[in-house]
Structure 1
Amino acid sequence: MEIELRTLIKTKVDNVFWGVAPRESPFPRVTIQHVSKLYQNDITNGPFKQLQISTVQIDVWALTFEEAVTLAKSIEQLDGYVGASGEVITNLIFQSKRADVDKTTGQDIHRVMFEVAIYHAE
């Protein structure tokens, strides 16, 4: 799921990293963190029994608020994504969105954060 999600997001922006982005990586950039995983067979016996639901946090980082919001809107177009038969990721559902500014680096770095539910095969 990790490679497939990164590949989907890279259709919107070049700099996509799991975990922490290297300091030298240019802006704008996106980081992804895995938050939780739930096995569907714990909650259903239906057709999705073999799927897992993972929650990830996607952070969009940019040097201006406008750039962060514009890129976030582009990535948000993946909301409702339905993968083709046989793909690892079957659905993406964007659950929440918020924004803030990191002032700890000596310059303002703007961030838009998403929590996303991902239905996927192992």
Structure 2
Amino acid sequence: MSRLPRGLGWLLLLVAAGVGVVTGVASIGVHDKSWGWFLLAVGAPYAAAVAAPPGWVRAGFGLGWSGAVLVALLGRPEGDYVVTATARGYALLLAALVLAVFAIVTLPVGRRAADESGSSPQVS
């Protein structure tokens, strides 16, 4: 895969994060309706994250979705919470943490430049 121009990677990250935030808000809205809605609210973002190519897009989407869910856990000014303390609420929290870790762990590692002889450097 060829390298993206410097600004395009950040643009992809921001667009994917925006899509992730919108999807996260939708997931928060339907997660507590029933177990079927919960599976859809968690399964769809996971499917999108797995289908996205590793790198900027996957990291942006995963962190955007997880960020929206984690911000919703902070509570509202009235003192109540958007995500309730039920099995589905705790499962949504766990799903957000797992998706954030998945997005970070699957980031591609940069390649090291080989030395002049064409071989990788030796560590002694």
* TM-score, normalised via structure 2 length: 0.31
**Structure ID, larger Rg:** 2
